[in-house]
């Protein structure tokens, strides 16, 4: 499994021969290392409809041949905008999509449709992208049921978990690797990777914090 960070909450993941994009906010993203015309995917996933999570960009990418995956109402909007291959889901059990199992999870946030996180599972591994969320106790169930190898967690505070809350999320989920996201994009996002790493050490867990700079790719 290869993970590339595209800045803010946007990730490109390669697993089982598929390229998956999650929350591909490219246009207007001050941390994006790529241009929209350079981006393609087999599956594009949108966790919620705030502008900094890439619904409009995801629609453009999906029109080039990707399967658009999101909660039902957002998926319907993508269909209305001309996307042909759309999978509308809800929070619950996984769906089989292009050989991968994809499950939407709850997220404590806001939006015009229910915000979600997402777990993607394949032969080469699994990852949990929390979307935008505060801390919640049922993250323990995400860890117990899906056992994600990698957890991508927001740490910026103000709109999402900060480093302290995100460190408890690591303890609840118990992934092998935790990747911080949704920080250092705007001044209001005050959480830092250093504080996150410090708080994770305090929890005494074995999880490795992997900080990825925008544009970097790591093999996991």
| Average pLDDT of span 54-62 | 98
| Average pLDDT of span 177-187 | 98
pLDDT one-digit tens code per residue, 106-115: 999 999 999 9
pLDDT of residue 185: 98
CATH of the domain at 203: 3.60.15.10
| Residue 220 belongs to a domain | no
By DSSP bridging, strand 95-97 and strand 86-89 are unpaired
pLDDT of residue 149: 98
| Average pLDDT of span 17-28 | 98
| Residue 204 belongs to a domain | yes
pLDDT one-digit tens code per residue, 116-175: 999 999 999 999 999 999 999 999 999 999 999 999 999 999 999 999 999 999 999 999
pLDDT of residue 67: 98
| Residue 11 belongs to a domain | yes
| Residue 83 belongs to a domain | yes
pLDDT of residue 220: 93
pLDDT of residue 36: 98
Which pLDDT band, with edges at 50, 70 and 90, does 97 fall under?
very high
pTM recorded for the entire structure = 0.98
pLDDT of residue 122: 98
Residue 24 main-chain phi, psi, to 5 deg: -80, 70
Which pLDDT band, with edges at 50, 70 and 90, does 12 fall under?
very high
| Residue 90 belongs to a domain | yes
Which pLDDT band, with edges at 50, 70 and 90, does 77 fall under?
very high
Mean pLDDT, the chain, integer: 98
Q: What residue numbers bound the domain in which 64 lies?
A: 2-215
d(CA 183, CA 191): 6
pLDDT of residue 163: 98
The count of structural domains within the chain is: 1
């Amino acid at each position: 499994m290869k993970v590339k960070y595209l800045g803010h909450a946007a990730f490109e993941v390669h697993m089982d021969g598929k390229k998956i994009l999650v929350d591909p906010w490219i246009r207007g993203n001050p941390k994006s290392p790529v241009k929209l015309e350079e981006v393609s995917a087999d599956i594009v996933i949108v966790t919620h409809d705030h502008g900094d999570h890439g619904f409009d960009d995801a629609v453009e990418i999906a029109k080039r041949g990707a399967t658009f995956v999101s909660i039902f109402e957002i998926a319907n909007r993508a269909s209305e905008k001309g996307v042909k291959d759309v999978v509308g889901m809800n929070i619950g059990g996984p769906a089989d999509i292009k050989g991968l199992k994809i499950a939407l999870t709850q997220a404590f946030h806001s939006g015009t449709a229910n915000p979600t996180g997402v777990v993607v599972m394949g032969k080469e591994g699994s990852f949990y992208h929390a979307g935008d969320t505060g801390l919640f106790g049922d993250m323990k169930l995400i860890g117990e049921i899906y056992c994600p190898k990698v957890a991508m967690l927001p740490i910026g505070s103000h709109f999402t978990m900060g480093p302290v809350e995100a460190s408890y999320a690591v303890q609840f989920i118990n992934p092998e690797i935790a990747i911080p996201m949704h920080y250092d994009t705007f001044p209001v996002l005050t959480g830092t990777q250093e504080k996150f790493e410090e708080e994770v050490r305090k929890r005494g867990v074995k999880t490795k914090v992997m900080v990825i700079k925008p544009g970097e790719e790591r093999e996991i």
